[in-house]
Amino acid sequence: QQQVKQSPQSLIVQKGGISIINCAYENTAFDYFPWYQQFPGKGPALLIAIRPDVSEKKEGRFTISFNKSAKQFSLHIMDSQPGDSATYFCAANFGNEKLTFGTGTRLTIIP
Amino acid sequence: DGGITQSPKYLFRKEGQNVTLSCEQNLNHDAMYWYRQDPGQGLRLIYYSQIVNDFQKGDIAEGYSVSREKKESFPLTVTSAQKNPTAFYLCASSIVGRSNYGYTFGSGTRLTVV
């Protein structure tokens, strides 16, 4: 199975709060898990990525948590800011296979 | 600066017309991809190419055609057979043979049928 299931579809978080987006996969061959951020009218941009040999990766306010046994990974945005309002896509692949994308989460940060 | 250039940014198509969307990259990436994005929707793969003069259909190839005559270029033609072409089209590229490198996306072309 090549699916990557992403939830929630949309998310509203207060400024300063923690935004959490979850993804689950079925293909145990996947070994690369990136997250993309897309602003309206723009192309997605790579935000942060993780490999399954680590359980967590942090870059600034963005953290990926990875649970290999549960086949799940999540994006945490700490101290969420209005500028973080965007659509976020998780993805996965292995080797030379093309990326399989989740369906996206529209994040809105409110004052 | 290296990157992917998509043109035009906005494109209007009349019923029954074919239109071609341009995608050029100077990243020396082997693979290129075309995605379609509908409002509030995810990314759906139209076509992809991992090497010059070769390409494969994605999940929604019907009504579209591509060519890959040069490594740097991967134009997408939206034909009159595509009955609902209004969407945001994204081109991406990546390295082949070096796994786990991710994609670089262009800024997109918004196509509207008038």
Three-class DSSP labels, B17-58: CCEEEEEEECCCCCEEEEEEECCCCCEEEEEEEEECCEEEEC
On average, the pLDDT of chain B sits at 92
Q: Is the pLDDT confidence value at B114 over 70? A: yes
On average, the pLDDT of chain A sits at 94
* Cα→Cα distances B98→A57, B2, B12, B30, B36, Å: 21, 18, 38, 10, 25
Question: Could you tell me which of A55, A53, A49, A3 has the C-alpha nearest to residue A26?
Answer: A3
Residues in A touching B107 (Cβ below 8 Å)? 41-43
Return the biggest CA–CA distance within chain B. 42
- pLDDT (tens digit per residue) in B37-58: 998 788 999 999 999 999 999 9
Residues of B at the A interface, defined by Cβ within 8 angstroms: 4, 6, 31, 33, 40-43, 45, 48, 50, 88, 90, 92, 94, 96-97, 99-100, 102-108, 110
Amino acid type, A61:
R
* Res. B15 pLDDT band, cuts 50 70 90: confident
Q: Do A89 and B43 count as a contact with CB atoms less than 8 A apart?
A: yes
Q: Which two tokens stand for residue A105?
A: 């989460």
Q: Is the pLDDT confidence value at B2 over 80? A: no
According to DSSP, residue A64 is labeled: E
Is there a contact between B10 and B109 (Cβ–Cβ < 8 Å)? Answer: yes
Q: Are strands B76-78 and A56-59 parallel, antiparallel or unpaired?
A: unpaired
